[in-house]
C-alpha cells in the first residue's frame, strides 16, 4: 500500500487539540442540580450514560482520522514485468573414443571428468536450448536441441565409450552439430567441441566443416583435454589359456592436435582452450558460460488502484453517527 499525498498525515496532529479541548470543556461545564436531600438519589443505580457520552469524542477523532487517510489517497501498486529473452542455441560435442579412458585426470578418466563439467555447465544456463552430439569413428545426435535440461542431463550421464575402433571423426561431428543448428532462429548459435585426439576418421575434413559452420553464423569453442606425452591408459588383457580378463595400466602417447583445434575455433571467431587437468576444464566451461550470456530484456508497466473511497465513506459514516448521537441520545440540555 502506498499513498499519493502522504503529507496530509500531518493533519493528524490536530487530534491533540481536539482531545485537549474536549477534556477542558468537560471539566469546566459540569451540570449541577441542587437538592435538599440526596438520600433518595444515592440509592438510584448509576446510569451508564455518564461514561458512554465519551464515545462522541472517540467517534469524532476516528472519523477525522479516516478522512485524513482518504485525503492521503491510499493506492495499491500493480507492476507487470514483460520479459523477453534472446537465448543461445548450443550443441555440445563430446568425444567418446577409447582414448577418453586415459587416467591422466585422476582419480577419474577423461570422459567421466568431461561429463561432470558439461553437466555443471548445463545446470547454470537458463532460457537456452542445448543438444548433444557424441562421436568417435562416426558421429550421431544423442539429443536434439531442447530446453528440457533434465532429459539432456540423462543423455550426458548415459554417454559411454563407443564400441567401434579408437578413431576420432572431428569433421563429421562438427557437420552433424551444424546440421542441427543451421535452421535455428536464435541470435547466437554455438558449438562446444571437447576432444582428446586428432582427426583420423570420417569423410569430412575438420577445416571444411568448421568453415561451413562459420558461414552459417555458428561459433565453435574447441577444448582439447589431456596431458602431453605419455599418459596412463587401462588395457584389458585376456589370458589365452583360461580366458580370464584382467586390466593393467599401460603408458600410451597422447595424440591431441592443438593446431588443428585452434584453427577450427579461429575460423568461426570462436576460441581454443587447453585442459590438462580437471580444475582447468572446470575454469574453461565457466569462462564459456560468461562469454555466451543470454540477452534478457524487461519492460515494467506500473498502474495504481485507488482505495481512498472506502476510507472516505467510513470516515463520513462515523461522523454522521457522532452527529446523530450528539443530537439524540447524548443531547445536552442547556
Nearest CA to 195 out of 221, 223, 174, 173 is that of 223
Mean model confidence pLDDT for the chain: 85
Q: Let me know how long the chain is.
A: 334
Query: Whole-angstrom Cα distance, residue 33 to residue 35?
Result: 7
pLDDT for res 171: 95
Residues 60-72 have pLDDT tens digits of 889 889 999 988 8
The residues pairing with 133 across neighbouring beta strands, listed in sequence order, are 93, 141
Confidence of residue 135 (pLDDT cuts 50, 70, 90): very high
Selected residue with higher pLDDT from 85 and 12: 12
Task: Check whether 207 has a pLDDT greater than 90.
Answer: yes
Task: Check whether 284 has a pLDDT greater than 90.
Answer: yes
| Count of Cβ atoms closer than 10 Å to residue 65 Cβ | 18
Indicate the range of 16-30, 38-52, 95-109, 283-297 predicted with least confidence. 38-52
pLDDT for res 106: 85
Selected residue with higher pLDDT from 193 and 250: 193
Query: Whole-angstrom Cα distance, residue 23 to residue 28?
Result: 9
Longest dimension (CA), the chain: 138
**For 100-104, which contacts have Cβ atoms below 8 Å and span 24 or more sequence positions?**
100/161, 100/196, 101/161, 101/233, 101/234, 102/196, 102/226, 102/231, 102/232, 102/233, 102/252, 102/254, 103/231, 103/232, 103/233, 103/234, 103/249, 104/226, 104/227, 104/231, 104/232, 104/254
Selected residue with higher pLDDT from 45 and 325: 325
Indicate the range of 95-99, 108-112, 250-254 predicted with least confidence. 250-254
Confidence of residue 278 (pLDDT cuts 50, 70, 90): very high
Mean pLDDT calculated for residue range 85-109: 89
Task: Check whether 80 has a pLDDT greater than 70.
Answer: no
Selected residue with higher pLDDT from 187 and 209: 209
Grid coordinates belonging to 313: 465513506
Confidence of residue 299 (pLDDT cuts 50, 70, 90): low
Task: Check whether 76 has a pLDDT greater than 90.
Answer: no
Q: What is the dihedral of CA 149, 271, 103, 286, to 10 degrees?
A: -50
Amino acid at each position: 500500500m502506498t499513498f499519493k499525498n502522504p503529507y496530509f498525515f500531518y493533519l493528524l496532529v490536530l487530534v491533540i487539540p481536539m482531545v485537549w479541548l474536549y477534556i477542558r470543556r468537560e471539566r469546566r461545564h459540569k451540570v449541577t442540580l441542587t437538592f435538599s436531600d440526596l438520600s433518595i438519589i444515592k440509592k438510584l443505580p448509576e446510569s451508564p450514560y455518564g461514561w458512554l457520552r465519551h464515545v462522541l469524542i472517540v467517534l469524532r477523532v476516528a472519523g477525522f482520522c479516516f478522512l485524513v487517510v482518504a485525503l492521503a489517497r491510499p493506492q495499491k501498486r500493480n507492476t507487470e514485468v514483460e520479459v523477453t529473452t534472446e537465448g543461445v542455441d548450443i550443441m555440445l560435442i563430446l568425444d567418446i573414443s577409447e582414448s577418453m579412458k586415459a587416467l591422466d585426470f585422476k582419480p577419474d578418466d577423461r570422459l567421466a571428468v568431461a561429463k561432470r563439467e558439461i553437466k555443471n555447465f548445463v545446470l547454470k544456463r537458463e532460457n537456452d536450448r542445448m543438444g548433444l552430439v557424441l562421436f568417435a569413428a562416426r558421429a550421431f545426435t544423442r539429443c536434439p536441441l531442447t530446453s528440457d535440461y533434465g532429459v539432456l542431463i540423462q543423455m550426458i550421464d548415459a554417454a559411454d565409450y563407443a564400441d567401434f575402433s579408437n578413431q576420432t571423426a572431428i569433421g563429421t561431428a562438427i557437420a552433424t552439430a551444424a546440421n542441427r543448428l543451421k535452421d535455428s532462429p536464435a541470435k547466437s548459435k554455438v558449438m562446444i567441441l571437447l576432444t582428446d585426439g586428432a582427426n583420423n576418421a570420417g569423410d569430412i575434413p575438420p577445416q571444411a566443416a568448421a568453415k561451413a559452420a562459420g558461414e552459417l553464423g555458428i561459433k565453435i569453442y574447441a577444448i582439447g583435454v589431456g596431458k602431453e606425452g605419455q599418459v596412463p591408459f587401462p588395457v584389458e588383457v585376456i589370458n589365452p589359456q583360461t580366458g580370464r580378463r584382467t586390466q593393467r595400466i599401460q603408458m600410451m602417447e597422447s595424440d591431441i592436435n592443438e593446431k588443428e583445434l585452434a584453427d577450427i575455433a579461429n575460423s568461426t571467431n570462436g576460441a581454443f582452450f587447453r585442459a590438462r587437468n580437471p580444475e582447468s576444464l572446470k575454469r574453461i566451461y565457466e569462462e564459456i558460460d560468461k562469454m555466451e550470456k543470454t540477452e534478457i530484456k524487461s519492460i515494467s508497466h506500473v498502474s495504481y488502484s485507488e482505495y481512498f473511497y472506502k476510507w472516505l465513506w467510513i470516515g463520513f459514516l462515523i461522523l454522521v453517527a457522532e452527529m446523530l448521537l450528539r443530537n439524540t441520545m447524548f443531547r445536552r440540555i442547556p
